[in-house]
Amino acid sequence: MELLSLYRSMARIRAFELAAEELSLGGVAVLGQHIDERAKVRGPLHGSIGQEAVAAGVCAHLERDDLLTSSHRGHGHTLAKGADMRRMMAELFGRRDGTNAGKGGSMHIADFSVGMLGANGIVGAGLAIACGAAQAMKFQRRPNIAVCFFGDGAVNRGPFLEALNWAALFKLPVLFVCEDNRWSSTSSTHELTAGPGVVARSTALGVPAERVDGNDVEALCSLAERLVREIRAGEGPRLMHALTRRMRGHLSADKQAYRDPTDIEIATKEEPMLRARRRLLEMGTSQAQLDLVNEEVSRELQEALAFAEASPMPAGMEAFADVQTLGGGTWY
C-alpha cells in the first residue's frame, strides 16, 4: 500500500474527528458540567486522534464484504472501511440522513453497506460479535474475514477470553486488533493488568499474536497484510497488538488532569501523521503533494458538514421505528 494513500486515509480521520470535537464543545455533561446548547454533536464523543495509523493500516487490506466491529472510538475504523463521511457527520448531528438515521450517534455508529457492524459502548462486546460474524461467514463458505478493533482495557474483561477461545477452537477467519493506547478510560492499563499482557494471553489461548508499533503506519500496514493473507488462507484467527498513544482524553470533555503532561508530549511527538509526513518527504514526496492531500480532505470535510447541517431532524415518531416488540398491542 502506497504511503501517500495511507497518509490520506489518516488525514481524513484526523480532520473528521477534529471537527467533531470542536462541534461537541465538550458534548456531554461530565461531573455536572453544563452542556453548551450551541453544540452540534451531542452525547459522549470518544476520539482516536493520535491512533489513526491502526485504522488506516488494517483497513487498507480489507474488502468491502469483509466485516468489522469496533470499540467506542469507531470513527476512524468506519471511515477507513469506506463509509461516507457526509452520512457519518449527519449521524453525529443526530440527523435523518445519518448512517443510522440519527439514532446511533458517535458511540454506536454503524454502516452495514461497507461491512461495518458497529462501534460499541460496551467494553469488549465487539469481540464476541466479530466471532459470530466470522462463524456465520464460515458456515456460508464465504471467502471473507471479520476484524475486531478493541482497546487494551478490554483484555481484562470476560469477552476477550471467550472470543479468542471460540475463534481458536473453530479456526475462525477473524483478526483481533488490540489498539493499545495504554489507558483504560482514566487509569493506566499496566497498573490494572497482571502478567506479561495481551500477546501472551492470546498465544496461551491458541491465537498467534504479534506486536507492532501502532504509530508506524508502514510497519503496521505490512503486518496487517500478512496476517490478513494468513487468515484468508484458512489458517485461523490472528491477533495484532498495536502499541499507540492517544493525544486526547478519554472523551471530548476530558481535561486529562490524571495524566502526566510528559505522556501527552510524547504522544504528540510520536503521532503517526507527523511520522508519515517526515517519511514521505524523505522518500521524495513534495510538500505541494502533501498540501494537495490536505486541501482535498478539507473540501470533503466541508461538504460533510454542509450535508449534515442541511439534513432534517428525524420526526419524533421515528424513535419507535426499527424497535422490536414482543407480543401484540400498543406499547408506547
The Cα 70–Cα 80 span in angstroms is 12
For 296-312, what is each residue's pLDDT tens digit? 999 999 999 999 999 99
Q: How many CB atoms are located within 10 Å of the residue 235 CB? A: 13
Burial of 37 (0-12, 13-18, 19+ CB in 10 A): exposed
Return mean pLDDT, the chain. 91
The per-residue pLDDT for 330 is 54
Q: How many CB atoms are located within 10 Å of the residue 282 CB? A: 8
Q: Is residue 105 part of a domain?
A: yes
Q: Is the pLDDT of residue 229 over 90?
A: yes
Q: Is residue 243 part of a domain?
A: yes
Question: Could you tell me if 271 and 247 are in contact, meaning their C-beta atoms sit under 8 angstroms apart?
Answer: yes
Q: Is residue 322 part of a domain?
A: no
Average pLDDT, stretch 23-32? 55
Q: Is the pLDDT of residue 43 over 90?
A: no
The Cα 72–Cα 104 span in angstroms is 11
For 47-94, what is each residue's pLDDT tens digit? 899 999 999 999 999 999 999 999 989 999 999 999 999 999 999 999
Q: Is residue 327 part of a domain?
A: no
| Residue 144 lies in domain | 3-25+35-312
SS3 content of the chain, % helix, strand, coil (to 5): 45, 10, 45
pLDDT-derived band at 24 (thresholds 50, 70, 90) equals confident
pLDDT-derived band at 210 (thresholds 50, 70, 90) equals very high
Q: What is the CATH number of the domain that holds 264?
A: 3.40.50.970
pLDDT-derived band at 127 (thresholds 50, 70, 90) equals very high
pLDDT-derived band at 31 (thresholds 50, 70, 90) equals very low
Average pLDDT, stretch 183-212? 92
Burial of 2 (0-12, 13-18, 19+ CB in 10 A): exposed
The Cα 228–Cα 238 span in angstroms is 8
For 84-95, what is each residue's pLDDT tens digit? 999 999 999 999
Q: Is residue 275 part of a domain?
A: yes
User: What is the DSSP code string of 7-42?
Assistant: HHHHHHHHHHHHHHHHHHTT-S--TTPPPPTT-SS-
194 phi/psi in degrees, rounded to 5: -85, 160
Structural domain count, the chain = 1
Average pLDDT, stretch 181-202? 89
